[in-house]
């Protein structure tokens, strides 16, 4: 996060986040804002059917959302808008035009089929294939809300809940099917067997958290787990322990279908393993995994590797959160004009 000296030069600035129903997009925007260290307001976007049209047809407009928020349309206008994903881009650009170009736009990920001339800064994962530009800041993985400084707080909060299961504790973060790929029952069975085996072989336990996309596969997957486990299925009542699982775990296994989950898994120095069967993973996801592997931030998790307790647990890596790099780029943008 930015230090106090950096914050003192931008403490007067107003920040607005454009947030939609995509959990990964929300986490990236909030993570950057929290790394920036400034208070922020939120504009929740509720899309209509028109938002499915390509952005070159929508232009800078509100026609893809149901109810524009009046309080953000009449001023005082925010100094910075942070948004992520294709469907937020027309709204961000319209707000900039209403502000008579006063507001600076920070976009996370390049929105497809969009005229980019109104954006002041675009944060692009280096595994994305884009042309270099003065507006572009290249980052590793997806920005998120987890920082190494949070580990002590999260451990204190969640360790009492997990004191009754054996160590080492292995977090198992399970995604699911995407628009182009199916997380099959066969994959669920393989992941359950592999993760159960490593937990039993190390004398430990699993901390399992599913996601909105795990869907009906979750029940099948959970029923196949044969090691001691604490399980939180998405939608269960009570607070989601996802962040707590990451903080107290001795190692982390994550499915490779989510760029956000893979990036969040690398927030600390703990061993991270990515389960990424070929039929589940797009080329874009594969480029991210290969980058994380080459940087020593993660390793593949597959049946072709035989793990001992020592080889599975005894390695570390630098913490990863690109929100800090994006926040620094925003600071430079608003203080130096570039």
Convert the pLDDT of each residue in 85-94 to its tens digit. Answer: 999 999 999 9
Q: Among 108-112, 134-138, 320-324, whose mean pLDDT is lowest?
A: 134-138
**Range 105-126 average pLDDT:** 93
Please give the helix or strand (H or E) that residue 273 lies within, else none: strand 272-275
| Burial (CB count <10 Å: 0-12, 13-18, 19+), residue 4 | exposed
* pLDDT tops 70 at residue 131: no
- Joined together, the tokens standing for residue 11 give 């403490």
Say what the pLDDT of residue 2 is: 66
**Better-predicted residue by pLDDT, 147 or 133:** 147
Say what the pLDDT of residue 132 is: 60
User: Distance (Å, rounded) from C-alpha 28 to C-alpha 330?
Assistant: 14
Say what the pLDDT of residue 180 is: 87
* pLDDT tops 90 at residue 322: yes
Say what the pLDDT of residue 336 is: 84
Say what the pLDDT of residue 179 is: 85
In the chain, the domains with their CATH numbers are 4-144+322-336 (3.40.50.2000), 148-313 (3.40.50.2000)
**Structure confidence at residue 72 as a pLDDT band (50, 70, 90):** confident
User: Distance (Å, rounded) from C-alpha 183 to C-alpha 279?
Assistant: 8
Q: What are phi and psi of 97, to 5 degrees?
A: -65, -40
Q: Which residue has the tokens 């990515």?
A: 274
User: Distance (Å, rounded) from C-alpha 313 to C-alpha 170?
Assistant: 10
**Structure confidence at residue 5 as a pLDDT band (50, 70, 90):** low
Buried b (16+ CB within 10 A) or exposed e, 52-84: eeebeebebbbebbeebbeebeeeebbbbbbbb
- Joined together, the tokens standing for residue 194 give 């592999």
Say what the pLDDT of residue 307 is: 82
User: Distance (Å, rounded) from C-alpha 251 to C-alpha 255?
Assistant: 14
Determine how many CB atoms are found less than 10 A away from the CB of residue 338: 10
* pLDDT tops 70 at residue 261: yes
88 in Cβ contact with 42 (< 8 Å): no
Q: What is the mean pLDDT of the chain?
A: 92
User: Distance (Å, rounded) from C-alpha 337 to C-alpha 333?
Assistant: 5
Say what the pLDDT of residue 11 is: 85
**CA distances, 23 to each of 39, 307, 326 (Å):** 21, 33, 19
**Structure confidence at residue 134 as a pLDDT band (50, 70, 90):** low
Q: Which residues pair with 231 in a beta bridge?
A: 208
DSSP-derived 3-state class of residue 272: strand
């Amino acid at each position: 996060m930015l230090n106090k000296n950096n914050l003192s030069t931008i403490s007067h600035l107003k920040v607005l986040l454009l947030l939609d129903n995509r959990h990964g997009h929300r986490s990236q925007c909030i993570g950057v804002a929290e790394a920036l260290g400034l208070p922020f307001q939120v504009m929740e976007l509720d899309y209509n059917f028109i938002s499915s049209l390509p952005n070159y047809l929508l232009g800078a407009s509100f026609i893809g959302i149901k109810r524009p928020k009046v309080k953000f349309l009449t001023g005082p206008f925010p100094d910075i808008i942070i948004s992520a994903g294709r469907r937020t881009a027309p709204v961000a650009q319209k707000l900039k035009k209403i502000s008579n170009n006063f507001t600076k736009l920070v976009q996370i990920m390049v929105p497809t089929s969009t005229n980019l001339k109104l954006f002041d800064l675009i944060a692009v994962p280096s595994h994305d294939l884009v042309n270099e530009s003065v507006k572009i800041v290249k980052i590793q993985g997806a920005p998120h809300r987890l920082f190494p400084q949070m580990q002590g707080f999260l451990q204190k909060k969640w360790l009492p809940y997990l004191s009754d299961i054996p160590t080492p504790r292995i977090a198992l973060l399970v995604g699911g099917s995407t628009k182009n790929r199916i997380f099959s029952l066969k994959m669920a069975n393989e992941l359950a067997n592999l993760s159960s085996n490593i937990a039993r072989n190390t004398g430990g336990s699993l901390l399992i958290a599913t996601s909105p996309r795990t869907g009906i596969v979750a029940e099948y997957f959970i029923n196949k787990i044969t090691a001691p486990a604490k399980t939180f299925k998405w939608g269960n009542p009570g607070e989601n322990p996802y962040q707590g699982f990451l903080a107290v775990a001795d190692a982390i296994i994550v499915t490779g279908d989510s760029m956000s989950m893979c990036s969040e898994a690398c927030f600390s120095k703990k061993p991270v393993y990515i389960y990424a069967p070929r039929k589940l993973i797009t080329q874009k996801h594969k480029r991210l995994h290969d980058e994380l592997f080459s940087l020593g931030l993660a390793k593949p998790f597959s049946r072709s590797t035989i793990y001992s307790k020592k080889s599975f647990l005894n390695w570390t890596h630098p913490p990863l959160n690109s929100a800090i790099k994006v926040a620094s780029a925003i600071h430079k943008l608003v203080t130096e004009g570039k």
